Chain A
Amino acid sequence: MSSKINGQVSPQPCPHLVDFRSRNGSKPFRALQDCIRVKPPGGRAAIRREPSEVPRCSTCEESSRPRLYACVACAAVSCHAPPLHSHASAHALSIPGHEIAVDVDRAEIFCCACRDQVYDRDFDAAVVLAQTITATATTSTSGSTAMQCNVTGSQPENLRKRRRVDYRPWAPDSREHVIIGNHSIPLHDATNASLISSTELPWGLRGLNNLGNTCFMNSVLQALLHTPPLRDYFLSDRHNRYYCQQKNGAINGTKNSRLCLACDMDAMFSAVFSGDRTPYSPAKFLYSWWQHAANLASYEQQDAHEFFISMLDGIHEKVEKDKRKSQSPGSGDCCIAHRIFSGILRSDVMCLACGFTSTTYDPCVDFSLDFEPNQGGSGKSSSAKSHNSCSVEVDCMGSNQNCGISTLKSCLERFTRAERLGSDQKFFCQKCQVRQESLKQMSIRKLPLVSCFHVKRFEHSSIRKMSRKVDRYLQFPFSLDMAPYLSSSILRSRFGNRIFPFDGDDQDASNELSSEFELFAVVTHTGRLDAGHYVTYLRLSNQWYKCDDAWITRVNESIVRAAQGYMMFYVQKMLYYKASEKQDAS
């Protein structure tokens, strides 16, 4: 009778096999394991002492017999060709204990005394293992990531049916526990000295050394290091720097091909989230960025916003070389930078003569706010070219304010307000076929995962040939609802809450669900245009931390509210964990 394993009927071993196993200890087929050769195309396993061995019967010297068996005990190869002759059986009969042999071309166990195939689980396990290793080796070179090993999908059909090995769950024993303990770093290590004695600093807070007027870079990097979707992307190894470098090194060995800002970011994330609290020097990243933005490569103070845009561009450019261009701009399919920061703006221009409206969509990676000079508004300058910032005007005398304080909300309102393009800015109407006065209105068609608001504090006037910094205070909320500025809301208000279809209906509907944003990082600038300093405030676990190059301190939120914001980063509320529970160090 046969026994059942995993619902499969497994034949009982013959007495000779039982004998053999009892005589040869726990790993009777150990020697054979090294001789298992697997041919990748079909995954067929064969037994060869050397890969190029030509097996031949030791008795009759024939190598062209269809069935050749190698004795498991003494490695003698014999042919088996009943009813003519069977040198394998002769061998088995002549020497007791040598009944078990293995088919050299099929890697199947045969009992020469019983003259029948027998089955042994350990041997089958070894064969399957050898075939599995070969299968994963071939699939990983055919394009999929090295991390993935889809074993069951790659095994040919005949293998799946014949070879089955039990799944045995594994738990570490005491020795393995020790090994695991010696080679891992605890996540919450109480012995690491924290900057603040009373409380423990949250995970991932690490100072960045100033490498020579690089606070512009440090401040933006601190914000990006804690941008939730970006942090999750790199910490879950979605861009593996070793694999990327290996892949690029194979394609093109020149220096430029090894430049990858995403790889340097990956290294930085690993360093910053390692638990080490000593300040980190982002020298490699700086060098890579210099190579990418050659015109900004100097030790002079640079603009943080310019650096931010340049960095996103660098990540995007590198990816573009690898993959095909994404189909739709603003969808964020092209790279992680755009996946996170890219949104879509909608611009409607309505001819005041005939009412014909022309609509255009443009992607943008952030929103730039302009401080309006007090003496009256000039025309709105909105240049939403692909992957550029868009301009928004700040109104200090809006209806919602008191004491003439500018707020972020008021400038967003102004941004989405319908603006009349006067007689000096006539727009060409397609219906009228002539330039007409028009009404222009901007709205947000698709919100990015992370909205970056950039306040234009540096005015460069070509007329007066001088630049100055605007120190005006801008109030910004900690929670922001962008729903009123979406295309759906704007259009609805234009037509008075009527039901009508407009394109991208489903997309706007999903945006309404996720139009709430939470502030998580503020980059501030203090000082003058030519001698200033950037500092970032980070919001982690509902506490604010000031990141001033290598120094990180906890601060009260009132300080942040009063700070002179230069770049404010908001993330969609559903991606932001306001008060993450801090586990006690176990």
Chain B
Amino acid sequence: MKYKAITAIAALLALPMSAQAGPDDDKLVINGEIEMVTKTAAPAHLQDAMDEVMSGWHFRSDETQAMEADDFDNPGMVFVEKALGAWETAEGSEGKSCADCHGAVEDMAGVKATYPKWNEEAGGVRTLQMQMNACRTERMGAEAWKYDAGAAIEMEAMLSSVSRGMPVNVAIDGPAQATWEKGKELYYTRTGQLDLSCASCHEENYGNMIRADHLSQGQINGFPTYRLKNAKLNGVHSRFKGCIRDTRAETYSPGSDEFVALELYVTSRGNGLSVEGPSVRN
């Protein structure tokens, strides 16, 4: 048998199917006023791999998409409200609230778009949750919040909500570069007995159906995401963990160095897309 020729035939057969699927061309405007960039030219570092980056929003059903367009329909906004209370509540031995030092939540607009970010004093890259916990433990005398859980994810959702519509813009050069390179390596490493990398699904196959799931680019501009599947806010690291587990691999833990690096790298793949969290996904 001539396997080469058959490969070509198989490839041809695959084409008509993938052409039907793919992301839609809808436009996302939140509350009738925040115009979201959900598709844009890929950042320079990614242009060998793809021309355009797209929010996961484009790959979801019309009903799921509609929930995100209005804060009254977005179940994630309940948690943002909760975090607003926490923002103003004094905690810890110093008797300070976030608001005491940072003022109104709106003053934090733009912060989410730059995280994960290099922190000189800490000598490392910090995710937003790590930064929040640094404020709690070092400035408030309060306990660190558990990674990706309850209060931490709610506060992250709130800080994200005030940055919605602003372009994701994380720095990947300078002192952050080594972490970014490590994240990139993790992204392209095939893991587990299924031997799949993030790229196997989210770069080579976005737009295709994998069983009942419409594969997106696995972007994280929309995090935290409210998932209809588990009816709660989901953090980036928890999502990474689930995807790695599904390759039949040993996962990393939320908050681990590996996931911090991967978060920086994956965020940078969406540089230019609007900050969208809390988004709604299935």
Asked if A and B bind, the verdict is no
Instruction: Please list the residues of chain B having a beta carbon within 8 angstroms of any beta carbon in chain A.
Output: none
